Structure 1
């Protein structure tokens, strides 16, 4: 990643998990070092060569951040309970470093968490149970150390208000920027194919892929020309391939490069993602939803996503998570029969990707210096 004009990188981003979306976004953001612990299945090696993130464990990451003297450091949000120990170690190292340097590193975070960490399943064994208690304590400490937070959904803002408090005098300054994409530039050379249904991403139960397969028979009977395209990989890939062998109207494209993903999004009329809660996981926004919107698709999903209210407001299909078995097939069929106008979908989106807007606010020197809310 290129350095600022003064020859040094002034900011850092500390993540536990890195995925292709982070890498794509990094190319559009101001220069900053990225330090991560592990990568997701959708990690694009070619993009990684351009961004050049650094993989480091918790202790080495803390040492690097403290040693380099960044002005602003982004960390995972406190509600991401599985990331909080990494954030806490980094912040502890910065406290020591700042004391020595007689300065204060600014800590910022982007928050889309919508699952109360206090309600997560509790381990029964003693040490894991104590570990969970420690994580909750650390999450509150990390929150108090954060200077600025940008919420990506109103659901997340409400959660943090309930769990951590955002109106306290010493709490971080915050803003809310709805987690919506800008229109994808690749749409300049693509057209929609009527009856094309797309499932994109992790082929798993929590993403509702099993529900899509179960509903497909009803959908194809209601829509004689419908085609289901499955793009991604995951635990249910074998089931997807078996379904495609039995049904010529199902296409499976396993873990393709990004240009193929964009091509399928350009063609798709409807994107479906019937996510459901599973253990300590809840859909925060849903990258397939965001990418579908960016390509002018009609979206069918559940009310688990943090932008469910926005989707309803603009005419997309939002199903109660508990009613997926009953409602998914008719809602998908209706969306395919009468999809939203792609131009109207694109017109509903912001001119600038909201994550970029939120990042600009988080890392703004002028705003921080002025102490604006």
Structure 2
């Protein structure tokens, strides 16, 4: 989404040194930070962001005005312990990869509160996990089993410390009901679908045959499946044009595919303004997410952004919004669907020619993540 003018938090430029404290009493603890997080941070209530690492699509210009602290687990705990933290948003309990970092951070802020004789900080989380973290077997041997046992304990430990939770998808709510029922019995919780509001960046003007992929050029994002289906799309819709936007390990394969096809364009890691412009001018957005041993698509930022710009969507059942998409006229496929079925879904949406205004009319007036944040951390 476009970034409003101005700044967030104290209004100062982003820090270029390693600070020993955060500036604000409200903190968001992130594992990774990407451009979409920075955009959203300008829209949400002011908060310091403590994060472990940057994603490849981190736009440093958007960091201006934000209080960002890059820190590993131990240093993050040290920074938080030295700060006056009153509210903290943590990664969701079923995000196993960040459990140790989250547990350390919570121990730090709770200990600091006790020493200062202040109430414990309010702890909130935004949950969109829709994959059982215990689905892959534990690694063989005693170390693997011990790590799995520790992870299970940490899930319960972190969950017991959460005061408020918003689920961004029904799939996430169902998963938490099954795996951590005690959390939902004790903490305040609600469901706010992770749907965007219509993007105000400009009026959509989609070309009739325009098909768009935005994202990492990776197998898990369904790039091979899209490339395999594309010749069949063009055979049925000679006016179809495919734009592939992103970068990643399959970039060479994507470029080789486009080199032999005049109707395919590759745009490598463009600025956000160009991404928005492409989303406004394409009729169909495609994200054919494929589950891996340890990963499942939670929502899919390209799906959300495509909807916000009026794109009809072709995706798979892996994403947490699959049910909503199917109910609202988009195409949702089994991830193992053959290329012919993928092509048929794309062509069906191109043939339908659904106006962008109709797609956007199904969206909420307030972005789902902003609505969730207002419920999690209401402004006094």
What band does the TM-score fall into relative to the shorter chain?
over 0.9
| 1:322-337 equivalent positions in 2, closer than 5 A | 322-337=336-351
Q: Which residue of 1 aligns with 2:32?
A: 17
- Give CA-to-partner distance per residue, 1:92-130, whole Å, 9 cap, x none: 112211221221110000000000112134212432442
Helix, strand or coil for the counterpart of 1:118?
A: coil
Q: Is 2:220 aligned against 1:206?
A: yes
TM-score scaled by length of structure 1: 0.93
* Greater helix share, structure number: 1
Matches within 5 A, 1:307-322: 307-322=321-336
Residue 324 (structure 1) shift: 4.6
Q: 1:125 to 1:274 in 2, by over 3 A?
A: same
Structure-2 change in CA distance of 1:168 and 1:219 (3 Å): closer
- Pick closer, same or farther for the CA change 1:324–1:161 going to 2, 3 Å: farther
Specify the alignment match of 2:152 in structure 1. 136
**Alignment partner, residue 107 of structure 2:** 92
Matching residue of 1:370: none
Preserved contact between residue 9 and residue 65 of structure 2 (Cα < 8 Å): no
Unaligned runs of at least 5 residues, structure 1: 367-373
Equivalent residue in structure 1 for 2:138, among 122, 135, 142: 122
Within the alignment, does 1:105 sit opposite 2:115 as a pair? no
Correspondence for 1:301: 315
Find 2:291's aligned residue among 273, 277, 280.
277
Structure 2: gaps spanning 5 or more residues: 1-7, 12-22
Does 322-331 or 245-254 show the bigger shift? 322-331
Q: Does structure 1 residue 244 correspond to structure 2 residue 258?
A: yes
Change (3 A) 1:337 1:290: same
Structure 2 equivalent of residue 267 of structure 1: 281
The Cα offsets for residues 47-98 of structure 1, whole Å up to 9 and x where unpaired, read as 1234241100111111111221211100100111101111011111122112
Match of 1:163 in 2: 179
2:336 matched to 1:338? no
Please, what is the CA RMSD of the aligned residues?
1.7
SS in 2 for 1:51: coil
Q: How does 1:176-255 map to 2 (within 5 A)?
A: 176-188=191-203, 190-255=204-269
Counterpart selection for 2:42 from 20, 24, 27: 27
Maintained 8 Å contact 2:9/2:48 = no
**2:289–2:297 Cα contact (<8 Å) kept:** yes
* Equivalent-residue separation in structure 2 for 1:41 and 1:315 (angstroms): 33
Q: C-alpha separation between the residues in 2 aligned to 1:47 and 1:135?
A: 35
Aligned residues: 362
1:147 to 163, 166, 178: 163
In the alignment, is residue 76 of structure 1 matched against residue 83 of structure 2?
no
Aligned-residue offset at 1:133: 2.4
Question: Does the aligned pair in 2 maintain the 1:36–1:53 contact within 8 Å?
Answer: yes
Distance in 1 of aligned mates of 2:91 and 2:146: 22
Q: TM-score, normalised by structure 2?
A: 0.92
Which residue matches 2:60? Answer: 45
Counterpart selection for 1:257 from 260, 271, 275: 271
Q: Give the CA deviation at 1:159.
A: 0.3
Is the CA contact (8 Å cut-off) linking 2:246 and 2:270 kept in structure 1?
Answer: yes
